Structure formats: C-alpha cells, structure tokens
Amino acid sequence: MLQVAGLGKRFALGHGATLHALADVGFNVQPGEALGIVGESGCGKTTLSRIIARLADASDGSVQFDGTNIAAIPAARFARDPRRSAIQLVFQDATDSLNPRFTAAQAIAEPLRRLRGLRGAALAARVAECAALTGLPGELLSRYPHQLSGGQKARVGIARAIAPEPRLLVLDEPTSALDVSVQAVVLQLLAELRTRLGLTYLFVSHDLNVVRLLCDRVMVMYLGRIAEIGRANAVFDHPAHPYTRALAAAIPTGEAQRNRALPEGEPMSPVNPDPHTCRFASRCAQAMPRCREAYPPLLPGSAAPGHLAACHLLAPTG
Amino acid sequence: MSLSFSANAWHVLRGNPATLAGALICGGFALLAVVGPWLAPYDPMATSAALSLRPPSAAHWFGTDQVGRDMLSRVLVATRLDLGIAISATLLSFTLGLVLGGAAGWLGGWVDRAVGRVNDTLMAFPLFVLAMGIVAALGNSITNIIWATAVVNLPFYARVARAEVNVRREAGFVEAARLAGNGSAGVLFRHLIPNALPPMMVQVSLNLGFAILNAASLSFIGLGVRPPTPEWGIMVSEGAALVLSGQWWAALFPGLALMLAVFGFNLLGDGLRDLVDPRRRT
C-alpha cells in the first residue's frame, strides 16, 4: 500500500549549514497494518509523518501510495488531489488542530464538504455517524472547542480525520497531550476504529508501551535515520541496535531496575552530519573504530523475517 | 451560529453596560441618519436675515446661525452625511487592511515586505496632515474625504490583520484545513481571516470615532465638505468665531453631536469584538 524509499528532508539554515531532518528512510506498509514510529524528540518522526500526509515536501526519495509517487505532487497542490481523502492525519495537539471559530460539527463537516462534496442532510448524517464512531455525544456537536474537554477535542480530531473515509491514517502522537486517564480510552478507541474501518495506521509516538500495544511493526528512528525496524515483538524482545536496547531498558516496568544501559554522552548534531559516521556512535557504549568510518547498512537483527537494524555489530565479520 | 446571533448580541449587551450605552447612542444616531431630514422642523438651507443669530428658544431649540438657518434642523440633517463618511471610510480601510494585511501575513516574503514598507511610509506622516494632503491634491469632494480618511487608517488595520494571520499560519488547524482539501485561498479566507476579526472589530470601533472627527476636522479647516451643506465640522467652524461675541449655541450643538457620536463609537469597543468571537460565548 505504502512504499517509502530513500526519503530525505533537509532544511537550509543559512551560512552553508543544512539540517538533515531525514536521510535515506525506506520502509513498506501493508494494507491494514499498523506501523509504529518511535524515537526521541528531533529524530524526524514528525517530519516523516508530515511528508507522508503530504503537508510537507521531501527533499529526495519517493512515497508510493497505491503505485503512485505522491511525493512528486507538491504539498500545496495535493489539497485538491483526488487522493487527499485517502490519507488523513490526527494531530498531536487537538486544541491547536481545531479552529476556535468552528463548532465540533463544523470541524467534522469541513473535509466532507470539500473532499466529498456532501451537503445538507447527507452531510449532517455523516457528521453524526463519525461522531458516533468516535464516541462523541451528539449534543456536543454544537459546541466550540473551548467548551470541550481534552478527550472530547481528541475525539473531534479523530472524527474529522476518519470522516472522508481515509485508508491510511497518520497519527502524530495523538495521545501525548492528553491526561493519562484519557489516553487509555483514546487508544482503545483507535484500536477499535482500525479493525472496524479496516484502516492502515502510521502511528508516531515516543511511548514504547503504546506502540507495542497498538502496532504490528515498529520502526525506531535516530537522528533522521532508521535505527531498527521489524515486528513489534521481535524489536522489543530482541532489540538488535544499541539504541533500541537503551530505549527498551528505559521502559518503566514497575520492577526494580538494575543494569539499565542508558546512553551517555551528547547526541550528534543533525546539522551537516558526517555521512560516514554512525549517528549514534557518540552515545554508543559499544562503538568501534568502524562506526566512525562508515554508516552501517541495515542488517538482519534476528532470525525473525523483516527484522533489520543499522549497526556494525550485526555484521558477520564484526 | 446564525440562530444564536441575536441571542448572543443580547448576551454581550447585557453583560457589558458600557457597550449597551454605546449601542444605544450609535443606534440613536443611525436612526437620525435615516429619518433626520423628516424630523427637521425647518429647511436646513433656508436663510432669513430677520432670524439671524437667535438664541435657543421654543421655536428654534438650538437657536439660529448667522444667516438665520435653524441649527436643530442643520444638526439633524448633517447626521447622515457625517455618519456616512465615517462608516464608508471605516469599511473601506477595514476591507483594504484585511486583504493587504492578510496577504502579507499569509504569503510572507516580498508581499509582506512591500505591504510593511507602505504601512511604515503612511505612518511616518502625522495622520491629519496626510489626510489634508490627499484632499488638497485630489480635490474637495466627499469621495475624496472618504478616501483620505480610509488611507490614513489603513496601516492600523493592515498591521492587526497581518499579525493575526501571521501568528496562526503554522497552527494545527491550518494544517487540518489543508488536509480537509482547502487550497491556499481557502485556508486564508475560511480559517485565518475569520480568526483575525475580533481584534479588527476593536479597531473598527476606535476608528469610527476617529473617522468622524477626521472628516469634521477637514471640513473645519475648509478642506472638506463645502458650505452651505450641513455638516458638523463646518458648523463648528462657522460657530467658533461667534463664541467670543456670546453666540455660543452656533458652535456648541454641532460640537456636542460630534462628541456624542465619537463617545458612542468608542463605547462599543470590546462589545463589538465579543460579538464576533465565539470564545466569548458560554
């Protein structure tokens, strides 16, 4: 369904400095699958989700959606593309993503009007249907965002995203701005919607437990590159990349935690990075001279099929 | 939203006595602007040497001027012209400011710089001197007074509109609007400009008062509406010379009308903003 290849995004900072937000990112997503994208702040998760949702343009690479390279269509023009309704996004901050002058019903109705051409009774019926699907009580539909709670605003955001019947839903940390008590309910809702509507998810998060719960596969990113990708169980149970191991060790489990291998040192700067150095080398306890000579290719991380990690430690010859 | 507009207007007015007073004053003037010519007891242009400079009396409530015209009739009839100039000029600068400022804030780049420099240039002049210059250059007509008043106020609207659009151009709801199939113009006109309206309305209320004063001031110095047309600024100007000789009424009543109108517009202030801001609704 989605084939991403060689995706890169650079921001010119002036004075010859270039920020490499994404470099050589490639992965596939099957229909109905949920791919989790994890990594720390600034690792390129949000940039990647914005490019795939066609809100931003890539510097290089391609995004094949149903066989068409949608990365070749400028983001400004994609708004009127017939595929616009097929890819929708749920925003991180529901409050910021809702126009303060639109009622909940108007917010959900907008993509239906513009993308589906619905009007009148058909429009009202579909708005009510989407509200019901997301568990938003009908009497809240006439309210403005400032009259809704955080969880209700999140539901409006989700209802708006599923309204034009997308096939791919990009979720950019949809629960990170919510109270913990509301988070679980919203995650439950997202899991239900996925099976009910047969949606494909691209789930961006920094919460590993959430990703493990909701996603079939996981992609770990570090400074704009893929560190590790594979089935969620394979990646979390047998992390192959030192960065993933550190992330997995940092998951709070409630038990007393010894031997926590937390990375030390400063992360490399994403500005003008040396293309021949592993980007994690500066924080890696197992860094070898080779890590500063060549960027490691994606190598099989375990016996599990499709489990890959970008680390020289996995190379057969060491 | 339309269903609750009158209910909302009532809610805004009831919660804010100053706005209510402003609305009553402005409503009164608006009514006078419409029916003033029929209410006027005398022909505002009819002169009479015998009635020259009569003090206020039962027959002539506001007295008469030097050539014997009834001041009450003249003040009433002038309402339409003064209010008309102020409202047209304010509408004009509001619309132009919204479009220019909105484009500057949304498009950025050279459009933003060009609009910014025009604003700076206009604001570098003392406003009244600039208005005087425009009327002096273009000629003494009501259309030109309206344009002059609109142009001197334009930078204030353009700046507010630019700032309001600019702070929201990266907002989540703007991206959401793109996802919903809005092109650049759709995002600007359906999402960004409506959000710029509340602070623009405050500017409108302050500006209506300024516009009416500006037009009257132009007439006062002889650059605006020409005598014998009834207009508050001219009447104050004509009456001003008579105050020293004791005929205070010729300047006082048009001056009071002017003051009350400005006061009324300024009182509207925040209420006008609350009216267009759904966040003020409960």
Contact A100 B176 (CB under 8 A): no
A55 interface with B at CB cutoff 8 Å: yes
CA distances to B85, B92, B130, B175, B184 from B99, in Å: 21, 11, 22, 21, 14
Q: Are residues A179 and A225 in the same domain?
A: no
Q: Are residues A158 and A128 in the same domain?
A: yes
How far is residue A303's CA from residue B66's CA, in Å, rounded to a whole number? 107
Q: Are residues A228 and A183 in the same domain?
A: no
Give the count of domains, chain A: 2
Contact A91 B172 (CB under 8 A): yes
Quick one: CA dihedral A132, A134, A137, A142, positive or negative? negative
Contact B279 A100 (CB under 8 A): yes
> What chain B residue is nearest to A55 in terms of C-alpha separation?
B175
Closest approach of B99 to chain A, Cα-based (Å):
20
Residue A9: pLDDT over 90: yes
> What chain B residue is nearest to A76 in terms of C-alpha separation?
B183
When CB atoms are compared, the residue of B173, B177, B179 closest to A89 is B179
Q: Are residues A163 and A265 in the same domain?
A: no
- Dihedral of the alpha carbons of B98, B100, B101, B107, in degrees to the nearest 10: 120
Residue A170 lies in a domain: yes
Q: For residue B280, which residues of chain A lie inside 8 Å, CB to CB?
A: none
What's the domain range around A136?
Answer: 1-204
Q: Which stretch of DSSP H or E encloses residue A154? A: helix A150-162
What ipTM score was computed for the predicted complex, to two decimals? Answer: 0.88
User: Residue B236 has what pLDDT?
Assistant: 87
> What chain B residue is nearest to A75 in terms of C-alpha separation?
B178
DSSP secondary structure string, A31-45?
A: TT-EEEEE--TTSSH
Q: For residue A88, which residues of chain B lie inside 8 Å, CB to CB?
A: 179
The last residue of one of the domains, among A180, A204, A228, is A204
Residue A150 lies in a domain: yes
Q: Are residues A87 and A174 in the same domain?
A: yes
The last residue of one of the domains, among A182, A204, A226, is A204
A160 interface with B at CB cutoff 8 Å: yes
Closest approach of B184 to chain A, Cα-based (Å):
7
Which pairing describes strands A225-231 and A34-38: parallel, antiparallel, or unpaired? unpaired
Q: Are residues A125 and A247 in the same domain?
A: no
User: Residue B1 has what pLDDT?
Assistant: 45
Identity of the residue numbered A21:
A
User: Residue B8 has what pLDDT?
Assistant: 78
User: Residue A170 has what pLDDT?
Assistant: 95
Q: Are residues A195 and A223 in the same domain?
A: no
> What chain A residue is nearest to B278 in terms of C-alpha separation?
A101
* Average pLDDT over chain A, rounded to an integer: 89
Least confident of A122-131, A152-161, A266-275: A266-275
How far is residue B186's CA from residue B231's CA, in Å, rounded to a whole number? 43
Q: Are residues A21 and A169 in the same domain?
A: yes
Closest approach of B180 to chain A, Cα-based (Å):
4
* Closest to B265 measured CA to CA, from B77, B7, B16, B24: B24
Quick one: CA dihedral A200, A205, A210, A211, positive or negative? positive
Q: How far is CA A159 from the centre of its chain?
A: 18
The last residue of one of the domains, among A174, A204, A234, is A204
Q: Are residues A96 and A241 in the same domain?
A: no
Strand arrangement of the beta sheet that strand A60-65 belongs to: A17-29, A2-14, A60-65, A68-69
Distance in angstroms between the alpha carbons of the first and the last residue of chain A: 36
Please give chain B's pLDDT, 282 residues, in tens: 444 677 778 877 888 888 888 889 999 999 998 988 888 788 888 777 777 778 888 888 888 888 888 888 888 888 999 899 999 999 999 999 999 999 999 998 999 999 999 999 999 988 889 999 999 999 888 899 999 999 999 999 999 999 999 999 889 999 999 999 998 889 999 999 999 988 888 888 888 888 888 888 888 888 878 888 888 888 888 888 888 888 888 888 889 999 999 999 888 877 888 888 877 765
Q: Are residues A197 and A224 in the same domain?
A: no
- What pTM does this model have? 0.84
Closest approach of A84 to chain B, Cα-based (Å):
7
User: To probe the interface with B, which of A55, A87, A99, A118 has the most B CB atoms within 10 Å?
Assistant: A99
Which CATH number covers residue A198?
Answer: 3.40.50.300
Are the C-beta atoms of B51 and B66 separated by less than 8 Å?
no
> A46: phi > 0 → left, psi -120 to 50 → alpha, else beta; which?
alpha
A222-232 confidence digits (pLDDT tens): 999 999 999 99
Residue A81: pLDDT over 70: yes
H-only helix segments in B108-171? 109-124, 127-138, 142-168
User: Residue B205 has what pLDDT?
Assistant: 83
CATH class of B5-42+65-280: mainly alpha
User: Residue A256 has what pLDDT?
Assistant: 59
When CB atoms are compared, the residue of A80, A96, A160 closest to B183 is A80
- Cβ neighbours of residue B180 closer than 8 Å, sequence gap 6 or more: A110, A111, A114, A115, A160, A164
Closest approach of A14 to chain B, Cα-based (Å):
16
Report residue A19 as tokens. 């920020």
When CB atoms are compared, the residue of B1, B173, B183 closest to A97 is B173
A83-108 confidence digits (pLDDT tens): 999 999 999 999 999 999 999 999 99
Q: For residue A101, which residues of chain B lie inside 8 Å, CB to CB?
A: 194-195, 278
> What chain B residue is nearest to A117 in terms of C-alpha separation?
B181
How far is residue B235's CA from residue B230's CA, in Å, rounded to a whole number? 7
Q: Are residues A172 and A297 in the same domain?
A: no
A237: number of Cβ within 10 Å: 12
Which pairing describes strands A168-172 and A87-90: parallel, antiparallel, or unpaired? parallel
